[in-house]
Structure 1
Amino acid sequence: MPKLGALHVIKPTGIVHNASVIFLHGSGDTGKGVLEWVKFLKKNFGFPHIKLLFPTAPKQPYTFIGGESSTVWFDRYKLSPDVPEHDESINAIKDDIKKIVDEEIKQGISLNRIIIGGFSMGGALSLHMAYRFLPGLAGTFALSSFLGKESEVYKNIKSIQTPLFMCHGDRDDMVPLKWGKSTFDHLTHLGVKGEFMELANTYHELKTSEIDRLQSWIEKLLPQEI
Structure 2
Amino acid sequence: MAAARRLKTCAVSPAGKHSASVIFLHGSGDTGRGLRAWVRDVMSPDLAFSHIKVIYPTAPARPYTPMRGAMSTVWFDRLKISRDCPEDLESIDDMCSTLGSIIEGEVNAGIHKDRVVIGGFSMGGAMALHLACRYHPDVAGVFALSSFLNKDSVNFQAVEERLRAGLSLPELIQCHGTKDELVLHQWGEDTSMLLKKAGMTTTFHSFPGLNHQLSQPEMELLRGWILNKLPPTTSADSQS
1: distance between equivalents of 2:52 and 2:112? 12
Distance in 1 between residues matched to 2:185 and 2:6, nearest whole Å: 30
Contact 1:4 1:55 survives alignment (8 Å): no
* Matches of 1:194 and 1:88, distance apart in 2: 27
Q: Secondary structure at the match of 1:165?
A: strand
Deviates more, 1:38-47 or 1:63-72: 38-47
RMSD: 1.3
Q: Does 2:33 match 1:32?
A: yes
Residues 117-136 of structure 1 show CA distances to partners (whole Å, capped at 9, x for unaligned) of 00000000100111111110
Which secondary structure does the structure 1 equivalent of 2:55 belong to? strand
Note the alpha carbon deviations across 1:192-217, whole angstroms, 9 max, x for none: 11211101111100000000000000
Structure 2 counterpart of 1:161, which letter?
L
SS in 1 for 2:86: coil
Pick one of 205, 211, 215 that aligns with 1:207: 215
Asked if residue 118 in structure 1 is aligned to residue 126 in structure 2, the reply is: no
Q: 1:181 to 1:4 in 2, by over 3 A?
A: farther
What does 1:1-226 correspond to in 2, within 5 Å? 1=2, 3=5, 5-14=7-16, 16-42=17-43, 43-157=45-159, 158=162, 161-225=169-233
In the other structure, the counterpart of 2:237 is none
Local SS of the residue matching 1:203 = coil
The one-letter amino acid of 1:124's match is A
Alpha-carbon deviations, 1:116-168, whole Å to 9, x = none? 00000000010011111111010000000110111010122246531101000
Distance in 2 of aligned mates of 1:38 and 1:192? 28
Identity among equivalent pairs (%): 43
Amino acid at match of 1:163: E
Q: Which consecutive segments of 4 or more residues in structure 1 shift more than 3 A?
A: 1-5
Partner-residue secondary structure (3-state), 1:35 = helix
Q: Where does the alignment leave 5 or more consecutive residues of structure 2 unmatched?
A: 235-240
Number of aligned residue pairs: 225
The CA distance in 2 between the partners of 1:78 and 1:44, in whole Å, is 34
Bigger mean CA offset, 131-140 vs 149-158? 149-158
Maintained 8 Å contact 1:64/1:77:
yes
Point out the structure with the larger helix share.
2
